[in-house]
Structure 1
Amino acid sequence: MASPSTTLPGPPTYIYKIVPASPPLPSPLPESLPLSDLDARDGYIHASTSAQILGTLNAYFSSVPSVIILRIPYERVKERVRWEMAVGKRPEEKGGCWDTEGRMGGFPHIYETKSGELRLGREEVESVGTWNRGGERWGHQGWPFGGEDIPKEN
């Protein structure tokens, strides 16, 4: 329980789903995009906050020059999100993540709808942006959503 002098941060405005730049996403987005192998294996859709996205990119997408970022207003999916830790698990393990020391807190995992669908598509996604890596590692350069919610470099 937080002490009266402790201010807990509120929920994020947005969470983000990273998808490969190839093949290109259909436009307009369908009701449900195909699941990645990782999401299908783990039984939820992996997402990141802006504070977590650079770590995720550098762990899982370090060898690709470009990705697509799905920007999801948290309010649209909050009933389906569980904030879960994957501390101590390597990225390739079920439920694993790049943050093996727990420095960035829990990750937003999007679970099934009330009708039992594991889905992410046009109803959840506000906007789609292409992000090109600006150097050897992913950094905030080229963030596709302007000056809002810019990822933090750790």
Structure 2
Amino acid sequence: MSESTSQLTYIYKIVDGSVTIPLDVSSLPDALEVSDLDKNSGFIHLSTVPQVKGTLKHFFGTHERVYLLRIPFEPVESNIKWEDPKAEVCGNRDGEGMFPHLYNGLRLGKNEIDAIRVFTKEKDSSWDKALDDAQDWLIY
């Protein structure tokens, strides 16, 4: 891992914007439907702040809308395993370090999520511009 877990306040889940997720955390179910990738992996793929842009680039590059779910780290820390991304899936991700993977029975809902934000981008642009306005929301 590239940073000390004692410095982490939040970790993030990126969700395809084609699904519908309520923006009011209190309206969330106990467990959201997880992606096929998460189901097949047996854990929930998460990112730290420095990893969010790379994850968007490699897995959501063609999407025009995503949800970013902010998860307080301390309550889920005991269910996190820090693992190396598989280069065969998306290519080399040097410099991004180990990724947080949540092993808790694929449960991510109102008890784990602190805040939700929608991000959109133009069809052929990068996610960098969309995230520029989120620097105050993306908290380590």
TM-score, normalising length: structure 2: 0.83
Confirm whether residue 86 of structure 1 aligns to residue 85 of structure 2: yes
Structure ID, larger Rg? 1
8 A contact 1:85–1:102 mirrored in 2? no
The residue number in structure 1 matching 2:107 is 119
The residue number in structure 2 matching 1:95 is none
3-state secondary structure, aligned to 2:50: coil
The residue number in structure 2 matching 1:24 is 20
- Structure 1 segments of 4+ aligned residues over 6 angstroms from their partners: none
Deviations 1:20-54 (A, max 9, x none): 11221145100000110000000100000110000
3-state secondary structure, aligned to 2:58: helix
How many percent of aligned residue pairs carry the same amino acid? 36
8 A contact 1:16–1:69 mirrored in 2? yes
Could you say if the C-alpha distance between residues 123 and 49 of structure 1 is closer, same or farther in structure 2, counting changes exceeding 3 Å? Answer: same
Instruction: Give the alignment partner of residue 138 of structure 1, picking from 119, 127, 130.
Output: 127
Structure 1 residue 61: Cα displacement: 0.7
Could you say if the C-alpha distance between residues 138 and 150 of structure 1 is closer, same or farther in structure 2, counting changes exceeding 3 Å? Answer: farther
TM-score, normalising length: structure 1: 0.76
Could you say if the C-alpha distance between residues 99 and 125 of structure 1 is closer, same or farther in structure 2, counting changes exceeding 3 Å? Answer: farther
| Paired positions, count | 131
Which structure has more helix as a fraction of its residues?
A: 2
